[in-house]
Chains A and B, each alone.
Chain A
Amino acid sequence: MGVFIYDSTWTGFLSTIFEIFERRVRPVNITTVGRYMPDVFAQPLHVTTDEVKAERVLAGIAKKISAPAVRKLYACFLSELPGIENTLYAYIRLVFAMKESPERAYADPDVLRVSQVDKMVHREKHRMEAFVRFQLTSDDLYYAAVEPDYNVLPLILNHFKRRYADQRWLIYDLRRDYGIYYDLKTVEEVTLSFNDKSTGSEPSIPLFHEEEALYQALWKDYFKHVNIKERKNDKLHLQHVPKRYWKNLTEKFNLLMW
């Protein structure tokens, strides 16, 4: 079996596909640097990420399947699920093997899996569009922390850029330790250094705008009073707002205390 190790980027993954097709290896196992478990019998190949090769693979796929189907593959990749690369590889093999696009052949296990994982990732994307809670800091930055199950910041970027075009904002993924920052012109990927001890004795608590506490209180009031007690339904509530999201939701947690 050919074991391929790549750098866990999308370009790296597509480069891997290129290498596999060029070397005509089968069967294969694609894994990332972080996930690879050394194996006595396997001779792993470390793939060099190559923009040109990645571009060629993507163009080849895009020629055979529809644009939404290509986006599905990218969404699946962002799921970061163990082994999803192998599913994607099987799907891509199918794309090049068949005359017409297999994107709707839901009876095929890999096609169905891609469609299901895409749905999971998009559900998380949609949740993030809903659950981001900005807090206004004293220097007029709208800041929100998130911890999504999948790496969905690349998918929500345009939504927030379109919607909040007239305010500076930063959405930070605490789990993956990077964020997206909008400066009224473009969105950039940023990494923050929280609790940077080298700067001395200054506390690293962000200062909130003077109105922030009032609006958080008003939102909590609203959330509490729009509820109809006679219709209480905890099961449904938890199904829609699972507990793992609570710590970043204004209405569920006191965000100002940290």
Chain B
Amino acid sequence: MSERIREKLQILTDAAKYDVSCSSSGSSRKNKNKGLGDTGNGICHTYTEDGRCVSLLKILFTNVCIFDCAYCVTRKSNDIKRVAFTVQEVVDLTLNFYRRNYIEGLFLSSGIFKDADHTMERLVRVAKKLRKEHNFNGYIHLKSIPGASDELMHEAGLYADRLSINIEIPTESGLKLLAPDKDHKEMFRPMNYLKNEIILKKEEKKLFRKAPLFTPAGQSSQMIIGAAKESDKDIMYTAAKLYTGFNLKRVYYSGYVPVSNDRRLPGLGSAVPMVRENRLYQTDWLMRFYGFGVKELLNDANPHLDLDIDPKLSWALRNLSCFPMDINKVSLHEILRVPGIGMQSAHKIVAARKFQKLNWDHLKKIGVAINRAKYFITCGSRQFESRDLSAMKIKQFILGGSASKYLKIAQQQLSLF
């Protein structure tokens, strides 16, 4: 018995791990009547050896699938062992992991067995059982299955904290090539339904405090990076569309890990584009928190992100006319655009300059990366970068002064010889 469940868990974890989302924040489910669990800001309970956060029990319900998407391990044509959990097994695993403080909740996805409605119904049943029978208030993230009925999606929204549909390939043409059974329109339909439903339920909640929660942590999606030959611009424009068009809370970017010898894809053994993935996340953050428009960061003249330097620095170098800024005068919004100054430092600067003029020492102690910021700001000190440097020169100085963490690895290996 125990060997059976262990095998299932191993197989269905292996199949689910390429879904990078593991966030457990954004919901505010309270523990009612001495039940089990609550949700808050989210906690990463451990980290895998690849350095990714483990916050949820992330598994597939089954890896039986009728689709044949080239980039996916569970594709129909792949010769692997197929297994399925029962509803009770998933419930028991979730509760027992949760009670031991291993996880924040459950992230349940599934291969499409039979059809969309059958699959969705099974996922909803797990969530319903946890909420209704076990008074479980931990985090539940369910996958929305494209093509599932509105009734099922509605029910899912009542029990889940987050729902997600993965766009997978940023361009329609890429998707047609790699996953002929899928198309974006079918993914956008449930996304749109949920978006409207969430807005509606939020309005209700304002009027009636007791109205039930509906997908309080919103929707998310994921794109695979480097499987089709898309540009960074394609990816980020699609992401921007998802954020503004469907109110998505998060878009995840997952560097393609080779899983097949299909000729349409990068071959087995090719490297996972991790630096590119990192730059895309940085761009995503600049869009969502730093007030950048996607067109400022990526456009027809610059369809790709610079892998050597971060996207904010790269924007600043293209727009040297905006600098230097006087750190003691400009608004928070402008401070956020300075390379080397992050969210927290920016807020600290704005708070601290009310008490006194800030100089380089203060900025350094507050946590500003002076090596990058010094080319773009002036402050309460007499010395500042007075040379009229070109963008190319600044980039060289910055790269010369600090090796990127990715470069460091390469250098370490070289110095062995």
Q: A interface vs B, CB < 8 Å? A: 102, 104-108, 112, 126, 129-136, 142, 144, 162-167, 184, 211, 214-215, 217-219, 221-223, 225-237, 239-241, 249-251
Contacts and interface: CB of A to CB of B under 8 A. Distances in A.
Interface stretch (B279-287, B302-310, B348-356): B348-356
A112 B348 CA distance: 10
Contact of B355 (A105, A162, A167, A249): A105
Given A107-B362, A136-B100, A223 B43 contact: no
Contact of A144 (B37, B38, B46, B101): B101
Interface in B242-292: 255, 257-258, 272, 274
Contacts of B10: 221, 225
Given A215-B96, A240-B44, 11 more contacts: A102-B355, A106-B348, A129-B43, A133-B101, A134-B100, A165-B34, A167-B99, A218-B9, A229-B50, A237-B48, A251-B46
Contacts of B135: 166
Interface of B: 2, 5-6, 9-10, 13-14, 16-18, 31, 34-38, 43-54, 57-58, 93, 96-97, 99-102, 135, 255, 257-258, 272, 274, 348, 351-352, 354-356, 358, 362, 365-366
A228 to B, nearest CB: 5
A120 to B, nearest CB: 14
A222 B100 contact: no
A166 B36 contact: yes
Contacts of B255: 231
A215 B100 contact: yes
Contact of A222 (B52, B57, B257, B365): B57
A249 B366 CA distance: 34
B2 A133 contact: no
Contact of B44 (A106, A130, A134): A130
Contacts of B352: 104-107
Given A106-B352, A165-B31, A227 B96 contact: no
B366 A106 contact: yes
B172 to A, nearest CB: 28
Given A106-B351, A219-B102, A225-B17, A233 B51 contact: yes
Nearest to A160: B101
Given A226-B13, A226-B54, A164 B45 contact: no
A233 B50 contact: yes
A223 B48 contact: yes
A226 B96 contact: no
A228 B257 contact: yes
Given A130-B43, A165-B31, A226 B48 contact: yes
A249 B36 contact: no
